[in-house]
Amino acid sequence: MSEIAAPSGFTLRQYLICLSGVVWREGLRFLHQRERFVSALVRPLVWLFIFAAGFRQVLGVSIIPPYETYVLYEVYIAPGLMAMIQLFNGMQSSLSMVYDREMGNMRTLLVSPFPRWFLLGSKLLAGVAVSILQVYAFLLIAYFWEIEPPSKWGYVTVLPALALSGLMLGALGMLLSSLIKQLENFAGVMNFVIFPMFFASSALYPLWRVKESSPWLYYVCEVNPFTHAVELIRFAFYEKVAWTSLAIVFAYTSAFLVAAILAYDPARGMLMRRGG
């Protein structure tokens, strides 16, 4: 009966074991799903090699921070495509949570004795780690397309920006997964979340251009968290800090995370109201 007398709390080492176990499992799943990795890379590369090449002459980009000279359109959209990888990964991760919940796998996570906020946070960090790997794989290919930061340090300075934007988009995905009852409903959410977030942002065109054609759309873009994730990454890639975007991404991350944790809380969450 030693278990009955077992201590209730966990040590820091046990928390780390749990976290690394969740990250390890997510990594294994990612490695086993090669098509997921390929499609995660193909998507931004299509935008880079085809869309950007086609629109290079049409969509001129003036000198705007962080750029100090004229840049090619491919260079301009690269940070947006990095954020796009993370956006799709965040949604893919939430899709897998809906799938796991329907198939029951999610229950094995949620009946762990570790605090639920920690379990969800671990799952979130695992998704972010995978998304960062995808972004660096994209940057490796983009390097041969002459898309690179001003110095090699840009590859380092962009990492915290990717981590924060990945957390924000992953937390949003997690929140969405708690609101979706069935897998079939997810396709609609993808259309209503991914595409509006991506297109109503500075990923493909500078916001001053949007403002010229539609002021109200400009304001929509301004409050879109994805815009600020893109700008955070853009500046960080150029070894600079977009302070306003940093603050906004941080605020959105906190809000999405708290909402997701509350949504998965057994006493308050959406799961309870819907009966699983």
Partner 1 sequence: MTPALTIKEVSHSYGPRKALDDVSFSVPPGSFTVLLGLNGAGKSTLFSLITRLYAARHGEIEIFGHNIMREPGAALRRLGVVFQARTLDLELSVMQNLVYHAALHGIGPIEARRLAHAALARAGLADRAKDKARALSGGQMRRVEIARALLHEPRLLLLDEATVGLDIKARADLLALVRELVQEKRLGVLWATHLIDEIADDDQVVILHQGRVLATDRAQAIIVEQAAANIGDAFTHITGAAQEKLSA
Q: Using the rule CB under 8 A, which residue among 67, 105, 181, 220 binds partner 1? A: 105
Site for partner 1 contains 112 (CB under 8 A): yes
Site for partner 1 contains 35 (CB under 8 A): no
Site string for partner 1, 56-85 (x = CB under 8 A): ------------------------------
Site for partner 1 contains 269 (CB under 8 A): yes
Burial class for 103, CB neighbours closer than 10 Å (0-12, 13-18, 19+) = exposed
Cα dist from 248 to 23, 38, 195, 229, whole Å: 27, 31, 21, 9
Q: What is the DSSP letter of 56?
A: T
Q: In whole angstroms, what is the distance from residue 225 CA to residue 169 CA?
A: 9
Choice between 4 and 58, CB closer to partner 1: 4
Site for partner 1 contains 181 (CB under 8 A): no
**In the chain, which residue ranges form alpha helices assigned H by DSSP?**
12-32, 34-46, 52-55, 73-103, 105-110, 116-143, 153-179, 186-199, 207-213, 215-223, 225-237, 243-263, 270-274
Rounded least distance, CB 174 to partner 1, Å? 16
Site for partner 1 contains 129 (CB under 8 A): no
Query: Which residues contribute to the site for partner 1 (CB under 8 A)?
Result: 1, 3-4, 6, 8-11, 13-15, 17-18, 20-22, 24-25, 28-29, 32-33, 103-105, 107-115, 119, 266-267, 269, 271-276
